[in-house]
Amino acid sequence: MKKGKIRAAIIGLGRIGSLLEEDALREKPCTHAGAIAANEDCELVAGCDIDEKKRRLFAEKWRFSNENKKIAVYADAEEMIREQKPQILVIAAHPDSHCHYCCLAEKMKVPVVICEKPLSDNLDDARKIVSLTEKRGSPVIIINHERRYSKDYIRAKTILKEGSLGDIISIRAVLYMGRTRKMVNMFWDDGTHLADAVMFLTDSVLIHSKSYGSDMEGNKGTSWLEGRCLCEKEIPVMFEIGSERDHLVFEIEFSCENGRLRIGNGIFEVWESAPSPYAENFRSLKNNGEVISGPTGYFANMLKDAAACVKDPKRIPVSSALDGLRVIEYLDSVKKWKAVDQK
């Protein structure tokens, strides 16, 4: 390993940890291992998983960048941290283990942690994780809300902030992520990205008000979640969560005074108000033709943020543990509201 490189290790060697790098259609890097391997300042030194097959596949795929030697693999995370002394520890295991591993990282004085979303599977653990970052000498914890690092979302935020479209009047967000999945599961697994993206793009906190439609504990139909963004002013928000579709949809639409912005998976559209070609004395929306091309850098930029936090422990990451907590607070409020409503 090259002297001076930042040592990085991964707990959880499944899809987001390593395996999705084999997907031919995804922008690369698209996994934590891929991002570390592609970063000139970092070195992937080890991986940990309780599954022997995943450890074997990981060891076969990843090697030290300048040595013909396999990466070390472990079944025990504490042993890996003690022996490898990573400066960046990626937690890509199941959300119910995130608090345990964040506490372990704090105990063993790991400087920077990248924790997969959602921050936790429950509000109490999420709050405990955030409390770790408030201690003296505590680790910097980055949450993989990857759209905060993506070129198209960064551009969308600039457009909304600069005001060319006027004030945001309302927001609509849509999530279809599986024909047979329970909507509550897709909401916690993928809705965490959707909720965080809304808060990131508006510098706001999401508040839930009311649910309509199908029961989110089921896997049929559509559920609508009414809420609002609290920022300089309140902005009404409607989330549409649906199953039974054979296609995936992840998108957010901002309806503004003078136009509309749509962003999501495979979508970047800016529509501006202009004199209507269809009727006199009316205005219509016209696509301004702006296109975001090339790699978005979503995983690569997150790893750059982590490396920068190693070099500067006082740095506030783009996607912090507090940002992750705000998402969990929103998700939890939806769950509690629905439970009360059904009594």
Report the alpha-carbon distance of residue 208 to residue 227 in Å, rounded.
4
| Maximal C-alpha separation, the chain | 74
Per-residue tens of pLDDT for the chain, all 343 residues: 445 899 999 999 999 999 999 999 999 999 999 999 999 999 999 999 999 999 999 999 997 655 557 799 999 999 999 999 999 999 999 999 999 999 999 999 999 999 999 999 999 999 999 999 998 778 999 999 999 999 999 999 999 999 999 999 999 999 999 999 999 999 999 999 999 999 999 999 999 999 999 999 999 999 999 999 999 889 999 999 999 999 999 999 999 999 999 999 999 999 999 999 999 999 999 999 999 999 999 999 999 999 999 999 999 999 999 999 999 999 999 987 654 444 3
CATH of domain 6-145+298-320: 3.40.50.720
Give the SS3 label for residue 295. Answer: coil
pLDDT at site 335: 84
Report the alpha-carbon distance of residue 86 to residue 306 in Å, rounded.
12
The H-or-E segment that residue 297 falls in is none
pTM for the whole structure: 0.94
Chain position carrying tokens 């507090």: 322
pLDDT at site 70: 76
Q: Tell me the two tokens of residue 161.
A: 């902030």
Report the alpha-carbon distance of residue 150 to residue 73 in Å, rounded.
30
pLDDT at site 198: 98
May I ask the CATH class of domain 151-293? alpha beta
Q: Tell me the two tokens of residue 287.
A: 């696509």
Distances, alpha carbon 289 to alpha carbons 167, 189, 249, 268, 280, in Å: 21, 33, 22, 10, 24
Distance of CA 207 to the CA centre of its chain: 19
Contacts 24+ apart (CB under 8 A), 54-60: 54/13, 54/14, 54/18, 54/19, 55/13, 57/13, 57/18, 57/19, 58/13, 58/17, 58/18, 58/33
3-state secondary structure 119-162: CCCCHHHHHHHHHHCCCCCCCEEEECCHHHHCHHHHHHHHHHHH
Residues 6+ apart with CB under 8 A from 236: 170, 171, 226, 227, 228
Contacts 24+ apart (CB under 8 A), 269-278: 270/159, 270/165, 272/164, 272/165
User: By C-alpha distance, which of 6, 7, 274, 320 is closest to 138?
Assistant: 320
Report the alpha-carbon distance of residue 108 to residue 340 in Å, rounded.
41
Residues 6+ apart with CB under 8 A from 134: none
pLDDT at site 138: 87
Contact 210, 226 (CB under 8 A): yes
Contact 235, 249 (CB under 8 A): no
pLDDT at site 63: 77
User: By C-alpha distance, which of 71, 119, 70, 75 is closest to 94?
Assistant: 119
User: By C-alpha distance, which of 326, 197, 190 is closest to 254?
Assistant: 197
Report the alpha-carbon distance of residue 71 to residue 290 in Å, rounded.
43
Contact 125, 219 (CB under 8 A): no
- Map out the domains of the chain as residue ranges: 6-145+298-320, 151-293
